[in-house]
Amino acid sequence: MSYQVIARKWRPVTFSEVVGQAHVVKTLKNAIASGRLAHAYLFSGPRGVGKTTMARLLAKALNCESGPAPEPCNRCSICKEIGSGYSTDVLEIDGASNTQVDNIRELRESVKYSPGRCRYRIYIIDEVHMLSVSAFNALLKTLEEPPPHVVFIFATTEPHRIPATIHSRCQRFDFRRIPTRVVAEKLKEIADAESIAIEDDALYLMARECEGSLRDAQSMLDQVIAFSGESIRKEDVRDVFGFMDRAVLATLLECIVDRDEAGCLNVVEKINDFGYDLKKLLGELIEYVRDLVVIKVCGDKKIVELPENELGHLKGLSERIETRRADLLFSVLSRGYEELARSSTPRFSLEMTLLRACNLADLKDVSELLRAAREGACATEEGARGKNPHNPVRKAASGTEPPSSSEPEGIEGFKEFVGARDDRVYNVLKDATVELDERGISILTDPDGHVMLEVMKKKRVEELAREYFQRNIRIEVIKKDDLTGERTEKATACGQEAEDIKTKAVRILGAKIIEERSVDDA
Task: Give the closest residue to 91 by CA, choosing from 150, 132, 165, 38.
Answer: 150
Task: Write the single-letter amino acid at 188.
Answer: K
If 0-12 CB within 10 Å is exposed, 13-18 middle and 19+ buried, where does residue 7 land? middle
CATH number of 180-241: 1.10.8.60
Task: Give the largest Cα separation in the chain, rounded.
Answer: 113
Q: With 50 as the cut, is the pLDDT of residue 489 above it?
A: no
**Residue 126: half-sphere exposure toward Cβ, Cα within 13 Å:** 15
CATH number of 246-362: 1.20.272.10
**In Å, how far are 204, 283, 351 from 295, measured between CA atoms?**
19, 19, 27
> Is there a cis peptide before residue 70, judged by omega within 30 degrees of 0?
no
Task: Give the closest residue to 306 by CA, choosing from 392, 166, 200.
Answer: 200
- List, in sequence order, every residue forming a beta bridge with 293; answer none if it has no partner: none
Task: Give the closest residue to 201 by CA, choosing from 180, 229, 218, 219.
Answer: 180
Domain boundaries, the chain: 6-174, 180-241, 246-362, 366-508
Task: Write the single-letter amino acid at 358.
Answer: C
**CATH 3.30.160 for the 366-508 domain, yes or no:** no
pLDDT for the residue numbered 188? 92
If 0-12 CB within 10 Å is exposed, 13-18 middle and 19+ buried, where does residue 170 land? buried
pLDDT for the residue numbered 94? 83
Q: What is the mean pLDDT of residues 270-278?
A: 83
Q: What homologous superfamily is domain 6-174 in, according to CATH? A: P-loop containing nucleotide triphosphate hydrolases (3.40.50.300)
Q: With 50 as the cut, is the pLDDT of residue 403 above it?
A: no
Q: What is the pLDDT of residues 105-114, one digit of tens each?
A: 888 888 888 8
The model's confidence at residue 514, banded by pLDDT at 50, 70 and 90, is: low
Helix pair 234-241, 200-209: axis angle to 10 deg: 30
pLDDT for the residue numbered 389? 43
Q: What is the pLDDT of residues 164-211, one digit of tens each?
A: 888 888 999 999 999 888 999 999 999 999 899 998 888 888 988 888
